Amino acid sequence: MEDASTVTLSEITACFEGIVPAVIATASADGVPNVTHLSRVHFVDDEHVALSNQFFSKTVRNLSENPQACVTVFDPRTYDSYKLVLRYERTERRGPIFDRLRRDVDAIAALTGMHDVFKLRSADVYRVVELERITP
């Protein structure tokens, strides 16, 4: 069995291709959890991922109050899954990470005919403080 402690983000880049939706759990400052799907988690480097911020969603509101999240991602080839514990680090509204996420959001908008609905507000960058392979 793979040693979970040796897994790095760059070894699981297949999980960040947006083929299988990810899951994100957040919690408000008063301890109410929220859980929803994410179309894609973006690999930034071996310590960071980026998430697109499109709406004033409950997830965004929770992260402004309590800047930590738990994300699970799937490898679309093997269906192995991994848990990432994230801590919010910064927001980018221009630059290469923002441009990459905007292209992705625009592609989804084009596919669904929802240009007015899906519009990238910012690219939020998170430090990955824990990464482990999930035992089903």
Partner 1 sequence: MIDDDRRALLESPCSLVVGTVAPDLLPDATRGWAVVVDAREGTLRLLLSASAATSIENLRATGVVAVTATEFQTLESVQVKGRVDGIEDPSRDDRARFDAFCDGMVAAVSAIDGVPPEIVRRALPDDVVACVVRIEELFDQTPGPSAGARLARVEA
Give the residues lining the site for partner 1 (CB under 8 A): 19-21, 23-27, 29, 31-37, 39, 55, 57-58, 66, 68-72, 74, 76-81, 83, 85, 114, 117, 135-136
Least Å distance, CB 65 to partner 1, is: 9
Nearest by Cα to 40 from 58, 28, 24, 25: 24
Cβ proximity to partner 1: between 83 and 127 the closer is 83
**Do β-strands 81-92 and 48-53 pair in parallel, antiparallel, or remain unpaired?**
unpaired
Task: Give CA–CA dist 72/38, Å, rounded.
Answer: 10
For residue 82, which of 135, 134, 16 has the smallest C-alpha distance?
134
In whole angstroms, the minimum distance from the beta carbon of 17 to partner 1 comes to 12
Min dist CB 35 to partner 1, Å, is: 3
- Six-digit token pair at 113? 């005919």
Contact 100, 43 (CB under 8 A): no
Least distance (Å) between residue 131 CB and partner 1: 14
Question: Cβ closer to partner 1: 1 or 37?
Answer: 37
